[in-house]
Amino acid sequence: MRASTPAHWDRYWKEHTQVEETYSNDDRILSQVAHLSLDGARVLEVGAGSGRDSIEMGHRGARIFLLDYVMSSFAVIRAQAEAAGVPVSCVCADGERMPFREEAFDLVFHQGLLEHFRDPLPLLRENFRVTRRGGHCLIDVPQRYHIYTIAKHCMIAVGKWFAGWETEFSPGELSGLVRSVGFEVRTIGGDWMVPGLGYRSLRYLLRKMRITLLPAYPRELPVVGPAMRRLRERLRHTTVGAYTFAMVSVLCWRPGSGARGGEGS
């Protein structure tokens, strides 16, 4: 079984410099923080990867800091940031021992990170430490009760999962973890996998055979496509809906008052 080590991710980002070939989060992360005031806010993305969500927050006026434990991801991030005209500060460090003062950030977030930790609490405690009083933290992880989880664990068992070892969480489990370190839960969200797992898997296999017929996103079916989008929007910010999603997000808040107003009008 492959581990999610620094060497693993260093190799991954050296091989994935063309981020347009890697599926984005669509607006899954950004929609969760759309009501927060980002103008002038200090935002930290932990385990930054491609940094695409952070760069978009930079467009909205945030001061962006990105932390990762491999340098190769920063080459990907800086190329995008330069093209977008967004200044970013990149820090190479361990997410469980971040080189920042207490309460340094208005918003801390990560996606595709927590599931790689056998014990998630040290990372969450460090998230809490660097989030200011009155600030927010957004955590996005794979959702436990989904066919995606079954397929993933089959691939992990035979050493074929691209990310090495990882786990997953239900909305209730994730909420309980963030509360245990001192956060209060504001909202639970998430999203379906778009396009679906079957389409992504087929496209991946064909590309392995150097067959590039399938686009990254298939054409939307008449009637069915718009109906599914409406259903997705209704479910994505409900607790019940979160149990149908491939990914679940929890937006939490560090109690207390801080120097900045945390939410927009």
Lowest mean per-residue pLDDT among 51-55, 66-70, 88-92, 188-192 = 188-192
pTM: 0.83
| pLDDT of 4 | 63
Please tell me which residue, 161 or 72, carries the higher pLDDT value: 72
Angle at CA of residue 18, ends 123 and 7, nearest 5°: 45
* Domains of the chain with bracketed CATH: 6-253 (3.40.50.150)
Instruction: State mean pLDDT over 25-36.
Output: 86
| pLDDT of 265 | 28
pLDDT of 149 strictly over 60 = yes
Find, among 242, 245, 251, 253, the residue nearest to 171 by Cα.
242
| pLDDT of 211 | 83
Please give the share of the chain, as a percent, with pLDDT higher than 70.
83
Query: Distance (Å, rounded) from C-alpha 92 to C-alpha 72?
Result: 10
| pLDDT of 197 | 65
| pLDDT of 229 | 78
pLDDT digit string (tens) for 137-146? 999 999 999 8
Map the chain to HEC letters: CCCCCHHHHHHHHHHCCCHHHCCCCCCHHHHHCCCECCCCCEEEEECCCCCHHHHHHHHCCCEEEEEECCCHHHHHHHHHHHHHCCCEEEEECCCCCCCCCCCCEEEEEEECCHHHCCCCHHHHHHHHHHEEEEEEEEEEEEECCCHHHHHHHHHHHCCCCCCCCCCCECHHHHHHHHHHCCCEEEEEEEECCCCCHHHHHHHHHHHHCCCCCCCCCCCCCCCHHHHHHHHHHHHCCCHHHHCCCCEEEEEEECCCCCCCCCECC
Query: Distance (Å, rounded) from C-alpha 11 to C-alpha 7?
Result: 6
Please tell me which residue, 8 or 149, carries the higher pLDDT value: 149
